[in-house]
Amino acid sequence: MISFNMKSDIKLTQWINSVNNDKLPDVVKKHAFNVAANSAKEAPVDTGLLKNTLADGVEKVDERNYTISDATDYGVFQELGTSRGVSAKHFLGGAAEREAEPFFSDVRKALG
CB of 90 within 8 A of CB of 2? Answer: no
Mean pLDDT for the chain overall: 85
Domain boundaries, the chain: 22-111
CB of 42 within 8 A of CB of 89? Answer: yes
49-89 confidence digits (pLDDT tens):
999 999 888 999 888 889 999 989 999 999 999 999 999 99
Residue 19: is its pLDDT beyond 80? no
Q: CA-to-CA distance for 81 and 77, rounded, in angstroms?
A: 5
The pLDDT confidence band at residue 35, using thresholds 50, 70 and 90, is very high
Q: Is 64 exposed, middle or buried (0-12, 13-18, 19+ CB in 10 A)?
A: middle
Q: How far apart are the first and last CA of the chain?
A: 38
Whether the pTM exceeds 0.85: the reply is no
